Chain A
Amino acid sequence: MPPSIREEVEKANAEAVSRLMESEPYWVGMGVAEKVIPGLKGMKLLHAGPPITWERASGPLKGALIGAVIYEGWADSPEDAERLLRREEVVFEPTHHYRAVGPMAGVISPSMPVFIFKDLKYGNEAYSNMNEGLGKVLRYGAYGSEVIRRLKWMSDVLYPVLEATIKEIVRDNGKGLNFKNIIAQALHMGDECHNRYVAANSLLLKEIAPYMFSTGIDRGDILEAYRFIAKNIIFPLNMGMAAAKVMTLAAHGIEYSTIVTVLSRNGTDVGIWVSCLGNEWFTAPAPVPKGVWFPGYSERDANPDLGDSSITEAAGFGGFAMAAAPAIISYVGSTVEFAVENTRRMYEITYAKHKYFTIPYLGFQGTPTGIDLRKVIKTGITPTINTGVAHKKAGIGQIGAGIVTFPIEPFKSALRRFAEKYGL
């Protein structure tokens, strides 16, 4: 007797989540986006979340796109940049269509340096840009001269140091830097690896410092790069996201699998992908996060949620592992009880407990891993993540941080499509 669809789904989900957990994300290289990301050519920009038009784009996304146009030298002023974008002379597409990810606005332009991550078990590659730090930064929609200056410095100084460093690491061990190990260790040291990377940053520097200093690059540049990373406690976020992307790619495209492989937002809409449904977006309006605000700002100034960083939760860490990171509550305006309860709640919608990412406080249980569309529908529980909050106007930047829960509608639409695809 042929297996029922339910049996097929069970089998497919077991395979998808196993691949997600067994994948081996390594940082293997650095490169200029247009040279390493297939298809990123000409006057094209990538952005976080599902597809969006200029008219519907949020303030921070517009700000980041304007900043990237200026950074590329395609326009000299914000007004000229906006004109190019409005006329579609500069086009923009979702990062996920290019196996790339970026936090908040997530804008990657052709000449930006990117991290190259490779899954040494299943072979997938993914890319992410370098993290600029907190405050007035491109990813939060700021595009002032200091933002562009920092991006240029990152390209001119930080990138060559990191490129030479990772070459040294690959030369030494033949593989690159095992980022899964860094995440697993950081979860035991008080990080959840979405908005808190304090431990991960120290682990990263401990791993790479000897190689940085053996690159032969000017020591002044190395020290500048080292200090920038050490000061920016969120620096490994983009690397964690690229690692999460290769993990979820390993689970993507498996026939019958109802595991969610992309969870993302563009500041206007949220969108998800489901393994068996390919690259089709299921979307709904993005909610505004609830949290704490920087002095002078309030929820009235906040933009709806944005960023690809929720790929971390899709991979089984980040907000889903908040029980591992009680200290994050001061950043997102929550309580320790909530941090623990949120992790417990996410077990109800995930397929498995992670084999390698564990939470000491919960008796070293694995983190909730593999969001299962079926469980979301059955329980009515949707993914809850932690997040930074951008001002709704272009050009201002970050104004707070908080917690956001995804709406149920994209999951309902995806289940509907599943029924159509498999003739239910």
Chain B
Amino acid sequence: MRKAKAKLRSSHIGLKVRDIIKELTNGQSVNPTYWSFKSTLNLVINDQLITLTFKPVRSAFTINLVWGPQALPMNYLFSDPYGRVIMSLRDNEIIISCDGGNLLIDLTDSTTWIPRTLKPVSNCRTLSPNLIIKASRTLRGLASIVGCGIGNEVISAIKNAARRLARTSLENYAEFLHELIKSLGLGDGLTPGVDDFLMGAAGTYNALIRLGVVKHQRFSVSFSELLRRTNTLSAMMIEESLGIGLNEGIDGAAVSHATQDYDGLINSLITLLGLGHSSGYLQALGSLTTLCLSSSDSLSLGDCVRNVFP
């Protein structure tokens, strides 16, 4: 059978990926673990996650690809999950060979994407609770129009966790996030619903700490704990979102809050909806829950979940 060959251009390459790729100049990576879908290929190389995607959402561990004349869906090439895969770098071109054929990624025009939440914001002034609640209403309306639904079991799990800690303030927010970990893996999809909500909530919380909006301890959880609760890929994505591997939607939401940019917040929420299905919507709800709690000392977790959640 003739082997397929796809040649793609990269528009953006995440900060972390650039470093991982550099290591390939000294050799090859053989048989990385991978998950392939139509628009996205997730690879794990030396315990590091790399996402190659046609979707226009950037992150530090993502290589964004342009759908062009030599493109093919990812699962067209990577159809055998047990097949042999060899990845190497040559002349600014990543070459991924698999049983289905060859994928060549031209990095020549690729711009490095750097999260905006890497450094603190000077003269931080945050959005008011009213604006965060208004943004939540807009998000819910848009999610309904776009057709992003959430399973009832996911809503119940998140609301139950919040109910148990309804009086929690931002100071004790980590308790709520730890409570959510007990429900990881709940929901449909590659990244189950509760996992997505945690990515948004905890990712935004840690981003606000980096930006200097919140003066608490960074939230963390061991990878082995995540793996006990959910699938490998989702666990890796949660781990990334807690650090600088958060996606541009969560990154943008945190920065918009810290710079009183309401338009920027709405744009970031729309970006998150582009993650598809319910993932982006739940990440956005998680992010808004955190932003709401950080917007006023007088609001409790219970107040925020009531206002933000559908």
Contacts and interface: CB of A to CB of B under 8 A. Distances in A.
Interface in B283-303: none
Contact of B68 (A380, A382, A403): A403
Interface in B101-144: 137-138, 141-142, 144
B142 A415 contact: yes
A405 to B, nearest CB: 5
Given A405-B66, A416-B270, A424 B71 contact: no
Given A405-B67, A419-B142, A424-B142, A341 B273 contact: no
The 7 A-B residue pairs whose C-beta atoms are closest, nearest first, are A424-B141, A334-B69, A380-B55, A403-B69, A380-B274, A290-B68, A408-B56
Interface residues of A, number: 36
B271 interface: yes
Interface in B63-112: 66-73, 76
Interface stretch (A2-10, A150-158, A305-313): A2-10
A290 B9 contact: yes
Interface in A1-28: 4-6, 9
A379 B267 contact: no
Contacts of B138: 419, 424
Contacts of B144: 4-6
B69 A333 contact: yes
A377 B141 CA distance: 14
B221 interface: no
Nearest to A340: B72
Contact of B145 (A291, A332, A407, A418): A418
A131 interface: no
B145 A424 contact: yes
22 contacts: A4-B144, A5-B144, A6-B145, A6-B147, A290-B68, A335-B70, A338-B70, A341-B72, A374-B145, A377-B146, A377-B270, A377-B274, A378-B277, A380-B39, A380-B54, A380-B275, A380-B276, A403-B69, A405-B67, A412-B271, A415-B142, A419-B142
Contacts of A380: 39, 54-57, 274-276
B69 A337 contact: no
A90 interface: no
Contacts of A379: 39, 55, 274, 276
A118 B296 CA distance: 60
Contact of A378 (B56, B73, B76, B273): B273
A204 to B, nearest CB: 28
B266 interface: yes
A258 interface: yes
Contact of B71 (A341, A377, A422): A341
Q: Is the interface of B mostly helix, strand, loop or mixed?
A: loop
Nearest to A344: B73
Nearest to A422: B141
Given A377-B273, A416-B267, A384 B67 contact: yes
Contacts of A5: 141, 144-145
Interface residues of B, number: 35
A353 interface: no
A345 interface: yes
A382 B138 CA distance: 23
B266 A416 contact: yes
A408 B137 CA distance: 23
B4 A337 contact: yes
Interface of A: 4-6, 9, 258, 290-291, 332-335, 337-338, 341-342, 345, 374, 377-382, 384, 402-403, 405, 407-408, 412, 415-416, 418-419, 422, 424
B69 A415 contact: no
Contact of B69 (A258, A338, A416): A338
B145 A405 contact: no
Contacts of A412: 267, 270-271
A58 B165 CA distance: 59
A404 to B, nearest CB: 8
Given A380-B54, A424-B145, A402 B69 contact: yes
A304 to B, nearest CB: 14
B141 A378 contact: no
Contacts of A290: 9, 66, 68-69
Contact of A424 (B67, B137, B275): B137
Nearest to B66: A405
Given A382-B56, A424-B141, 19 more contacts: A5-B145, A258-B145, A291-B69, A332-B69, A337-B72, A337-B76, A338-B71, A338-B72, A345-B67, A374-B147, A377-B270, A377-B274, A378-B274, A379-B39, A379-B55, A380-B274, A381-B67, A402-B69, A419-B141
Given A381-B39, A415-B142, A341 B69 contact: no
B45 interface: no
B43 interface: no
B148 interface: yes
Contacts of B146: 374, 377-378, 415
Contacts of A418: 145
A356 to B, nearest CB: 27
A405 B68 contact: yes
A421 to B, nearest CB: 11
Most chain A beta-carbon contacts within 10 A, residue among B67, B69, B142, B146: B69
A337 B274 CA distance: 26
A84 to B, nearest CB: 38
A377 B143 CA distance: 10
A183 B38 CA distance: 30
B247 to A, nearest CB: 12
A341 B76 contact: yes
A335 B69 contact: yes
A242 B245 CA distance: 48
A403 B69 CA distance: 6
Contacts of B69: 290-291, 332-335, 338, 402-403
Contacts of B72: 337-338, 341
Nearest to A258: B145
